[in-house]
Amino acid sequence: MSCRLLRRVHSAHSSFSIESRRRHGAAPSSCQISARYVCVCARQVRARPVPFYPLVAKMTVPDDEKEFIDQILVEHNTRRQRHSAPSLEYNDELSEMAQQWADKLAKQAHISFSELSGVGENITFFPPDIDAESVVEHWYQEHEKYEYETPGWQTGTNYFTQVIWRSTKEIGVGCAYVRKTHESDEDNTSCSNGSVCKSMTSLISNGKLASEGDKVIVAFYRPAGNNNRSGQFAANVLKPIH
């Protein structure tokens, strides 16, 4: 990794700047300085995933998708009420980000998580005719495996705990559809927030290959749930009251 150091060097014949970059404490392995050239020093570091920087833009939500998204919010809040959690509010910015991530999944052809700072994520693909209640219930049904007597991160329950996480306040939703290969963008169907549902050729989730036409749902939450610091699960995942 290159390091940064600005220094002014004067000689009888020249005056120049030498620039290198220091980040995260990394030190150069070698650096040669001459009066006419700037030396760039670097060393090899462990590869890291490329970060996701969403570009938020205003888009119009088609009526049918708006109804679907509105109902997803209703279904979340119905279940949150059972666990003494306050209602979520729909956030346009989060929804734009969720749609962009759904589009990205279409291009890379498999499920992954954006790991946006401070944002929780529920991502799954479903049959194309899935309704909002079934989407949220699919995530919520993990409650059957959650042990309230030993609060904390538990295998196979993280979708449920994010749905009802008490301190989460906002939600945004995006979707995309699995399409035939080589289908033109003009033939793609509009999706959540009016963006185009990109073509997906081999979407993989939970070890399964998606079928043509399957609907991918991306839900982003803020603040993120599933914080495994001491006491967080006990405070945010409460037993149902009915």
List the pLDDT tens digit at each of the 242 positions of the chain. 433 333 333 334 433 333 333 334 444 444 443 333 333 333 332 334 445 545 544 445 556 678 998 999 999 999 999 999 999 999 999 999 999 988 777 666 567 788 888 999 999 888 889 999 999 999 999 999 999 999 999 999 999 999 999 999 999 999 887 665 534 444 444 444 443 343 333 445 555 556 677 788 899 999 999 999 999 999 999 999 97
Residue 242 located in a structural domain: no
Cβ partners under 8 Å of residue 6, min gap 6:
17, 18, 19
Do 73 and 41 belong to one domain? no
| CA distance linking residue 176 with residue 198, whole number of Å | 6
Could you give the number of structural domains in the chain?
2
Distances (CA, A) of 155 to 52, 151, 159, 210: 26, 12, 10, 23
The answer to whether residue 169 is domain-embedded is yes
Q: Edge to edge, what strands does the sheet with 89-90 contain? A: 89-90, 170-177, 215-222, 120-126
Q: Assess whether 44 and 161 both reside in one domain.
A: no
Q: What is the pLDDT of residue 141?
A: 98
Same domain, 21 and 122: no
pLDDT at position 113: 83
Q: Within a domain: residue 151?
A: yes
pTM above 0.85, yes or no: no
- 1 and 83 part of one domain: no
pLDDT value, residue 211 = 67
Q: What is the pLDDT of residue 106?
A: 66
How many helices and strands, by DSSP H and E, does the chain display? 5, 8
Give the angle subtended at the CA of 223 by the CAs of 219 and 227, to the nearest 5°: 100
Q: 105 and 29 in one domain? A: no
Same domain, 40 and 75: no
Residue 41 contacts residue 31 (beta carbons within 8 Å): yes
Q: And the tokens for 134?
A: 């079934």
Judgement on whether residues 12 and 115 belong to the same structural domain of the protein = no
What residues form DSSP beta bridges with 176? 216
Domain range for 117: 63-236
Q: Which 3 state secondary structure label does DSSP give 81?
A: helix
Provide, for the chain, the percentages of residues in helix, strand and coil under a 3-state DSSP scheme, each rounded to the nearest 5: 30, 15, 55
Residue 53 is assigned to a structural domain of this protein: no
Does a structural domain hold residue 241?
A: no
Instruction: Give domain status of residue 58, yes or no.
Output: no
Instruction: Report pLDDT for 33.
Output: 36
> Does residue 54 lie in a domain region?
no
Q: CB of 221 within 8 A of CB of 165?
A: yes
Q: What CATH number is given to the structural domain containing 196?
A: 3.40.33.10
If asked whether residues 70 and 184 sit together in one domain, one would say: yes
Do 44 and 93 have their domain in common?
A: no
Taking the C-alpha atoms of residue 46 and residue 67, their distance in angstroms, rounded to an integer, is 45
pLDDT of res. 111: 73
- What pLDDT score does 190 carry? 41
Q: Regarding beta strands 89-90 and 170-177, do their DSSP bridges make them parallel or antiparallel, or are they unpaired?
A: parallel
Nearest C-alpha neighbor of 26 from the set 49, 51, 6, 46: 46
Q: 27 with 82, same domain? A: no
Q: Do 197 and 86 share a domain, yes or no?
A: yes
57 lies in some domain: no
3 state SS of 21 = strand
> Do 41 and 71 belong together in one domain?
no
In a 3-state reduction of DSSP, which class is residue 126? strand
